[in-house]
Homo-oligomer: A and B are copies of this chain.
Amino acid sequence: MKGIEILPLTGVPEIRPGDDLAGLISRSTRHWLRAGDILVVTHKIISKAEGRIVDLDTVEPSALAKRFAAEHGKDPRQIEVVLRESRRIVRMDRGVIISETHHGFVCANAGVDASNVPGTESVCLLPVDPDASARRLRERISELTNFDLPVIVSDSFGRAWRFGITDVAVGVAGMASLADYRGGKDPHGNSLEASVLAVADELAAAAELVMGKTDGVPVAIIRGYDYERVAGSGKDLLMPPERDMFR
């Protein structure tokens, strides 16, 4: 029975700005990596290695940030960082900000996150370009291990209408983010119209199952999934604005 395995990478130390993430992952995995494996890396350790951490003491909140924070018992400096990371506010209500980030992701708090950041006075941002982060990691790991592995950078997003967060792919390198069955037929000869599968999001969600929130597992290896070999991009997972009914 050919299935898929999802393997956690444990023992990754706390990552600091400038750390060599590719070297660290390569050293930890090289004895058991296999051709065909996919690497899923939580954005948090990439953001940390890339120095995407903001010391809240350096942030001067705007009047809007101060007002919203006061109304909802939030830290005005953290709200200010969320506003700066946004290019469009979708909802700003009940203490929650749903916005579109400069990358085009629609998510809560523009991906700004205070959990798993050392010290309560700093927050972690999304990488500037998660696809580029995925590409760099993939290229360097390929040099170090001789394995040409796709890399997915993941983050936890909320969803409209559904409770709870799930991990999605914010950056992708070395594989197709989507599996497009449009134009195909099912075994009964019916067209598969609505069948573009967001497989990179499903792989990120699967990886989360071995990561957990508190266990210090920032990397998972997915083995046995037959991906499509292309350059890839997390941007393929964004709803084109002209088709977006929930802007």
Interface residues of A (CB under 8 A from B): 1-8, 10, 14, 32, 91, 93-94, 96, 98, 105-106, 108-109, 114-120, 156, 158-168, 177-179, 181, 184-199, 201-203, 205-206, 208-210, 212-214, 216, 225, 236-240, 243-246
Question: Do residues B209 and A202 form an inter-chain contact, with CB atoms below 8 A?
Answer: yes
Q: A3-B5, A164-B201, A186-B214 are in contact. List 9 more A-B contacts (CB 8 A).
A: A4-B210, A96-B245, A158-B194, A163-B237, A164-B237, A165-B198, A166-B205, A181-B213, A202-B208
Distance between Cα atoms of A21 and B82 in the complex (Å): 49
State how many copies of this chain the complex holds.
2
Contact B5 A4 (CB under 8 A): yes
Q: Is the CB of B245 within 8 A of A115?
A: no
Q: A1-B32, A118-B188, A209-B225 are in contact. Are A236 and B163 (CB under 8 A)?
A: yes
29 contacts between A and B (CB under 8 A): A1-B8, A1-B32, A3-B5, A4-B5, A4-B210, A106-B160, A109-B194, A115-B191, A115-B192, A117-B188, A120-B190, A160-B244, A161-B238, A161-B239, A161-B244, A161-B246, A162-B168, A162-B198, A162-B238, A163-B196, A164-B196, A181-B214, A185-B214, A186-B213, A186-B214, A197-B213, A202-B209, A206-B206, A206-B209
Q: Across the two chains, which residue of chain B brings its CB closest to A184?
A: B214
Which residues of B are found within 8 Å of A189, using beta-carbon distances?
A: 120
5 closest A-B pairs by beta carbon, nearest first, are A164-B198, A206-B206, A106-B161, A3-B7, A160-B160
Q: Are A165 and B196 in contact (CB under 8 A)?
A: yes
Q: In the bound complex, how far is the Cα of B72 from the Cα of A101, in angstroms? A: 33
Cross-interface CB contact of A115 among B109, B186, B199, cutoff 8 Å:
B186
Asked if A186 meets B116 with Cβ closer than 8 Å, knowing A94-B245, A202-B206, A246-B246, the reply is yes
Q: Is the CB of B205 within 8 A of A201?
A: yes
Contacts of A212 in B (CB 8 A): 179
